[in-house]
Chains A and B, each alone.
Chain A
Amino acid sequence: MTKQRSNNKAKSKVSVGWISWVWLFKFATVLMVVGVVALVYLDAQIRHRFEGYRWSLPAKVYSRPLELFKGQQLATGQLDYELTQLGYRWVEHAKAPGQVQKTNKGIAIYSRGFRFADGDEQGFLVEVSLQKNTITDLRQPSGASKALLRLEPQLVGGIYPAHNEDRELIQLNDLPNGFIETLLAVEDRNYYTHYGISPWGIVRAMWANIQAGSVVQGGSTLTQQLVKNFYLTDRQTIWRKLIEAPMALLLNIHYSKDEVLEVYLNEVFVGQAGKRAIHGFGLASRFYFGQPLSELKLHQVALLVGLVKGPSYYNPQRHPKRATKRRNLVLSILAQQGLISDAQKMQYQGLPLDLTEASQVSRYPAYMDVVRQQLQQNYQPSALSSHGLRIFTSLDPWVQHQADTAMAEQVKKLNQRHGKIDGLQGAIVVSHRDSGELLALVGDYNGGYAGHNWALDRSRQVGSLLKPVVHLAALETGRFSPVTIIDDGPVSLPQPDGTLWQPQNYDRKSHGKVPMYEALAKSYNQANVRLGMQVGVDKVLQQLRRMGVEQPIPAYPSVLLGAVEMSPLQVNQVYQTIAGNGFYSPLSLVRQVTEANGLLLSHFPFAVRQAASNDATYLLQHEMRMVANYGTARGVYQYLPKQQQVAAKTGTTNDQRDSWFAGFSGQHVATVWLGREDAKPTPLTGAGGALHVWGQLMQHLAYTTYEDIKPQSVEHYYLNITTGKTMPNNCPNGVWLPIPKTSAPSFNTTCGY
């Protein structure tokens, strides 16, 4: 034992120095290992995140592009409006994309070019000659005349992921002149020479701050700022402080300065729009100026760069004074550093902020709602919110603008005329007559909508709007024509429960024997019920189904007077079929979907299905033109020029709970509904309410001729308007109406009055 112990002792005595050296070595090794492991870990992390990182790019939703071609009819003010919405700037001489100029003949536009689903449209400079809102020529500077050009579409919304980050990716070569210089002058002067961190930068920033008496510069390099934004949470923790510098160093080692900068430009947070977080300078430029980044002038660049320090504090929309001060400070820094002259500084400081006039909150909530619904049938939510898909829709910004305006202004007037109508709501649907594309949707009378989309979500009784369907079913049988005489005497029909149904006319009078067109024009209930009963309620419902109304509807006679609940969208679908010569085409709003790089994923081919014969539909269209020229809808001519032909129908439900108006012009089909949220009675009839909204809307849409294509099977006759009998052309108060050749009326030699 002792021997052993002493032996040990002796041994340990000998190796004291050696052991402490071992321990030191071990300790150092462990430290090194920990350090190296940490570095390896951080390194892997950085490379993984930097290269593998994919920004979730929300799907971008675009409006239809404005097509420019000879003969194109525009509405008054439309071109100016659309150019403003697209962020075009009016200048003396248009010489760069995004500029427009008034000329003697019209407008010179320097467009930006755009990648459409069907290929690239190059930017162009073209003079658009206009005569009374019609394009008469498109001429390029070379003198060449172009047949067709299109402007870029408007970005009308996005489909955002849960975290609501929105951005528009840019590359270094998208930057306008002076951008990098300005950014670096303010945020990181030695960016291109430091190693990711810059102790000297911190000292200089402190000195600058002391000189200025406030914090004008931050000490972090752009690389550090990116590390903070990109990899770390916002919380100020010691761990974060500890790894920020090594991560910045590593980032600097692995990637070129330009690569890091490019990521920074896309990552930086520059504002908040409601729930939507604006990231990157690309989107910031759209958001604040309505222009692509490449078009910005130095005073705008200075504002964007200045925003980095505090996007909400310097929010130029909310705090224009602060923002101006900050921008001018940035410009001063540029002058201090000799990047611009003092004269330039003064010049730029004197400029306004130049923010976009177009509102940046979603202007199309109802429309976007339907786009989202349609896309969700075809795409997974994650694909929509993160893959940067491009959605091309048929939304027409001008029509939408006019629909919103008509609703707001007319509802205001109605409230003035009738005293405030509590909870008055409204909806508008507008589609293109022959393609069935949805051009505009108003889902709420305020335009801004919270929850309910009255154009889609709510079905209300349609009242007399159903009468054209009764007439179509009648005309389809071949046994009726617009001049068939119908008895408008009192109607009494037994109901399943044994009681009698005795609908009355609106004026509570009977009008004797009337021609069919008169029954529609004056919306006589008794005559229309009698007509419907002769055709058969089931036949009418079959006709309605063929026009796209698929919900089960019990075949009661009350259906004939519109005891059927439909949404404004469904009503528009039915009227679309009438406007489309009897061909049903499903209302659509997504034209194409492409990937972020332009690869076409899907498109929605135009399809039609015959739902009624062209002959019968043609006769009905003319009956409905009579409704507008002479019947219950004639009030629309307060708004429209007499020569503009429209076909329409009013609708009023029991106790005036719903005020409807639906119809079409040469190019547009539109449906308007007004009513109370709680479905209580209103002071409004179809003609007293919805008609005015419809009239104002149509008044401001491009005027297009109503092209009337007469089928061979019918002939137009000059008729006595009240009797529906033919009469000589020189008789007063006559009307030209089509009648099937098979039921040609005998010719009368007297006027019959």
Chain B
Amino acid sequence: MYNNQITSCKFVSLISLVIFLGACAAPGYGPIVEDLSVQARVSERMSVLPNNVSTKAPTNTTVVSPPPAPVVTAKPKPYVAPKAVVTITAQPISNQVITQLATQEDTPVAVQEASLPASDQAVVEQLLTEADQLKAQGKVTQAVIQLQRAQRIAPREPKVYARLAALQLSLGEASRAEQLALKGLTLVPNKKSYQYYFWKLIGASRSNLGDSQGEAEAIRQAAKYK
């Protein structure tokens, strides 16, 4: 009997303890109207990532963490879309290529870009400038997206192809760069500065690809338009 009573008392105090602890453990009020599942855990995040990486984005993406306040997940309200919450600062998949090219002082790309004539469409120039700025900030993916936007708006503007090709080359995508430059060539049969530029770029791409014969041919072609 006595023992029983003790047990009961123990039990009751145990429950009080549980309640007390439970109360203590109650977490603070976080943002509740949000699906955080994609940000929640690394294991979960992985499942969202593409199986087949056709992307430049995620692997070493720097995420500028939003402030702890609720993140806007639905569409932002007009005019108040918070700039601070923009989390897109994708970095190129391979920083090595960038550094390597950045240190090459006489890349045809860097030398020649300025001498290309301005596009007669103001909107194209604006997008190209934006892309340049993004690239300078290391947001190469964003720069590519801006250039593709320009390409849709002005699909026959050679300058867009010149930038796209140069950017792809700087990303180490030499084959892609070569093809873009070849397509660019079809748009400039009478524009020497562009022909020179594209052939130089094709030469650089082929050199990266180890195609020395193709490179020689490109250099020969470029010489015709110097």
Q: Choose among A29, A51, A152, A170 the residue that contacts B32 (Cβ–Cβ < 8 A).
A: A51
Contacts of B70 in A (CB 8 A): 171
**A377 and B52: CB pair below 8 A?**
yes
Contacts of B155 in A (CB 8 A): 432-435, 667
Chain B residues proximal to chain A, CB less than 8 Å: 1, 5, 8, 11-12, 15, 18-19, 22, 26-27, 29-30, 32-39, 47-58, 61, 63, 66, 70-79, 81, 83, 85-88, 90, 121-123, 126-127, 141-142, 144-146, 148-149, 151-153, 155-156, 164, 168, 176, 179-180, 182-183, 185-187, 189-190
Residue on B with the closest CB to A375?
A: B50
A244 to B85, CA, bound (A): 38
Contacts of B29 in A (CB 8 A): 255-256, 259
* A583-B179, A602-B53 known, 20 other contacts, Cβ within 8 Å: A32-B12, A40-B15, A51-B30, A69-B121, A115-B76, A120-B81, A120-B86, A122-B78, A122-B79, A170-B74, A174-B74, A292-B75, A387-B48, A581-B186, A583-B182, A583-B183, A597-B66, A597-B87, A599-B63, A667-B155
A173 to B29, CA, bound (A): 18
Nearest CB of chain B from residue A487's CB, rounded to whole Å: 33
Nearest CB of chain A from residue B67's CB, rounded to whole Å: 12
Contacts of B85 in A (CB 8 A): 597-598
A707 to B121, CA, bound (A): 15
Contacts of A25 in B (CB 8 A): 8
**B75 and A148: CB pair below 8 A?**
no
Nearest CB of chain B from residue A166's CB, rounded to whole Å: 13
* Number of A positions contacting B (CB below 8 A): 99
The yes or no answer to A723 lying at the interface (CB within 8 A) is no
A19 to B55, CA, bound (A): 77
A289 to B137, CA, bound (A): 41
**B33 and A599: CB pair below 8 A?**
no
The yes or no answer to A701 lying at the interface (CB within 8 A) is no
Q: Which of A42-50, A519-527, A553-561 binds B?
A: A42-50
- Determine the main DSSP class of B at the interface with A: loop
Q: Choose among A169, A433, A604 the residue that contacts B73 (Cβ–Cβ < 8 A).
A: A169
The yes or no answer to A111 lying at the interface (CB within 8 A) is yes
**B186 and A614: CB pair below 8 A?**
yes
Nearest CB of chain A from residue B127's CB, rounded to whole Å: 7
Given the contacts A379-B48, A712-B189, A603 and B78 also touching, CB distance less than 8 Å: no
Q: A103-123: which residues lie under 8 A (CB-CB) from chain B? A: 111-115, 117-120, 122-123
**B81 and A122: CB pair below 8 A?**
yes
The yes or no answer to A263 lying at the interface (CB within 8 A) is yes
Total residue contacts A-B, CB cutoff 8 A = 249
Contacts of B145 in A (CB 8 A): 117-118, 591-592, 603
Contacts of A377 in B (CB 8 A): 51-52
**B35 and A55: CB pair below 8 A?**
yes
B1, B35, B76, B87: residue with the most chain A Cβ atoms closer than 10 Å: B35
Contacts of A610 in B (CB 8 A): 179, 182-183
A47, A591, A606: residue with the most chain B Cβ atoms closer than 10 Å: A606
A168 to B33, CA, bound (A): 11
**B58 and A596: CB pair below 8 A?**
no
The list of the 8 closest CB pairs from A to B, nearest first, reads: A123-B78, A434-B155, A602-B55, A97-B78, A378-B50, A614-B186, A69-B123, A120-B81
Contacts of A568 in B (CB 8 A): none
**A118 and B73: CB pair below 8 A?**
no
A266 to B31, CA, bound (A): 14
Contacts of B1 in A (CB 8 A): 22
A259 to B28, CA, bound (A): 12
Given the contacts A434-B156, A604-B54, A119 and B77 also touching, CB distance less than 8 Å: no
**B79 and A97: CB pair below 8 A?**
yes
The yes or no answer to A254 lying at the interface (CB within 8 A) is yes
Nearest CB of chain B from residue A555's CB, rounded to whole Å: 28
The yes or no answer to A196 lying at the interface (CB within 8 A) is no
**A387 and B37: CB pair below 8 A?**
yes
Residue on B with the closest CB to A262?
A: B33
**B22 and A54: CB pair below 8 A?**
no
A378 to B176, CA, bound (A): 21
The yes or no answer to A346 lying at the interface (CB within 8 A) is no
Q: Choose among A70, A388, A614 the residue that contacts B38 (Cβ–Cβ < 8 A).
A: A388
A647 to B27, CA, bound (A): 67
The yes or no answer to A716 lying at the interface (CB within 8 A) is no
A47, A262, A583, A602: residue with the most chain B Cβ atoms closer than 10 Å: A602
